[in-house]
Chains A and B, each alone.
Chain A
Amino acid sequence: DAGVIQSPRHEVTEMGQEVTLRCKPISGHNSLFWYRQTMMRGLELLIYFNNNVPIDDSGMPEDRFSAKMPNASFSTLKIQPSEPRDSAVYFCASSLRGGLSTNEKLFFGSGTQLSVL
């Protein structure tokens, strides 16, 4: 399997523009997670899906952020409008069963480096 695939790897945009980050989880995985990583705050969970349904979006910073998972093989994280403080690395991760398993393992994509000027 190719692993978790994220695109783009790098995104540079101007303040106020819409940004869309994309993620393809590992085939067969039932859970998908979006994280944001910054030097100041470390790795923060934004939202996670189980069987394409959003389970917890309490980590989404504000209404400018939205995430969708229209099917089991694709998810997007959108920021509209973007602001300089959104600059960070955004990671997507997936896991197999989606919960209640002591053997549940998390697999990460390579991340999207977002810079908002």
Chain B
Amino acid sequence: KQEVTQIPAALSVPEGENLVLNCSFTDSAIYNLQWFRQDPGKGLTSLLLIQSSQREQTSGRLNASLDKSSGRSTLYIAASQPGDSATYLCAVFYGQNFVFGPGTRLSVLP
């Protein structure tokens, strides 16, 4: 069964810290992995997409890595800001369907 897990479930950090969110998947036959951000009461916004042949992708202060063989991806957020507070979800694409993790709820304290 294709399952995606995320740790930690919740994280609270002071402003300015660098932090890492983790995503694990059981089936390594992936096409790509996407990281999403969800603000309370809103839809999901795509942050980064890593194709199966890639090792990492960067966008501003965000860096996502992918290790297919170990079934892991990390989202690194540099110099966190209160505006980064949201829930972050990873989703694995298996060719037709996307399987989502439960998300990590991040709070960045001013």
Interface stretch (choices A48-56, A71-79, A80-88):
A48-56
B29 nearest CB across to chain A (Å): 12
CB distance from A58 to the nearest CB of B (A): 10
Residues of B within 8 Å of A, CB-based: how many? 26
Contact A104 B97 (CB under 8 A): no
When distances are taken between beta carbons in the complex, the residues of chain A under 8 Å from B102 are 42-43
At the interface, yes or no: A28 with Cβ under 8 Å from chain B? no
Contact B43 A43 (CB under 8 A): no
Q: A102-B52, A103-B49, A108-B43 are in contact. Are A45 and B32 (CB under 8 A)?
A: no
Q: Is the Cβ of A109 less than 8 Å from the Cβ of B43?
A: yes
Q: Which residues of B contact A (CB under 8 A)?
A: 31-32, 34, 36, 41-46, 49, 51-53, 89, 91, 93, 95-103
14 pairs across A/B with beta carbons < 8 Å?
Answer: A35-B100, A42-B100, A48-B97, A56-B97, A100-B95, A100-B96, A103-B49, A103-B51, A105-B34, A105-B46, A106-B34, A108-B45, A110-B43, A111-B42
